[in-house]
Structure 1
Amino acid sequence: MGIIRVVTGAAGAPTKMASYDAALADAGIHNYNLVTVSSVVPTDATVEFVGTAPDLGPAGERLTVVEARATISEVGRAAAGLGWATGPGPGLFYEATGTDADSVRSRVEAGLDAGADLREWTLDERRVEVTTADHDGEGFATALTVAVYGESDPIL
């Protein structure tokens, strides 16, 4: 299959959607139409944390993603965590959101454990990324951590 890139973004803006769009821009994936899938890593995929996405194709095309996104409007911190576990076969992504990064990380790790146990898979290689966005109370703040499968595909 190829590579699955994990990217992160955090931003604030006057509206909920604008803060989400700005966080997507921070991650480098704001010019694509995101199609969310559940959380299975194909056997032949490599998962790599890159932070900000490289050019993945023309604007307006489709990107397949697993997304953790937290948006808040009150003073505080948004936290969006995505973890992945791989082994000799397929792997898993798990996502969690909240306002406390440590709690989000713990819930992602627990989800990976539960998902591996459910499937009876050996998933020895694991990583968790938690993105945070601090908010001063003006408008909205969004944090996101997104796994992007491959490159973009035409929609039409």
Structure 2
Amino acid sequence: MTADALLDRALVEEATKKSGLIWVRGSGPARALWHVWHDGAALLVGDGPGEQPLPAGLEAGAAAEVTVRSKDKGGRVVAWTAAVLVLEPHSEDWEAAVAELKGKRLNAPDAERMTERWARECRVLRLVPGAARTQLPDGSLAAAPLPTGATTRQPAPAALHRLLLKRRGRR
């Protein structure tokens, strides 16, 4: 391996370890995902009830584009191509990955039975880094937010201002 390749690999590892989120693109739009860096790869869990939705196209043997942001500034640090491995539930690799992920999973409703649920209903992925691109693109790569049912922005009811004014007058 050349010195540049070793430096790129070190940048990928350090940036990904320190970042709380990575942006992962499979065959569809990229998604921000929480992850754990372990044993030279990013580990993800998702696609089950109560877990993060994984992007389309993250199948065994596929390639994914990973963009790592800076934890303090939020800007893009490095982008790298990953080989996607889907870990089989209760395999040796799956058990090691789940042990790392379990310690970082926040606010799980069923922390004591979480790994059982992951084995039944979720997918655990290992993203192994390949080529890194440290040169950042010229454009912003900004995209419209993905559609979600969590949107709360609706027009205010017509009578809302009268209700607010009435309360102010009572004081």
Q: Normalization by structure 2: what TM-score? A: 0.28
Q: Higher relative CO (CA 8 A, sep ≥ 6), structure 1 or 2?
A: 1
More helix by share: 2
More strand by share: 1
Structure with larger Rg: 2
Q: Normalization by structure 1: what TM-score? A: 0.30
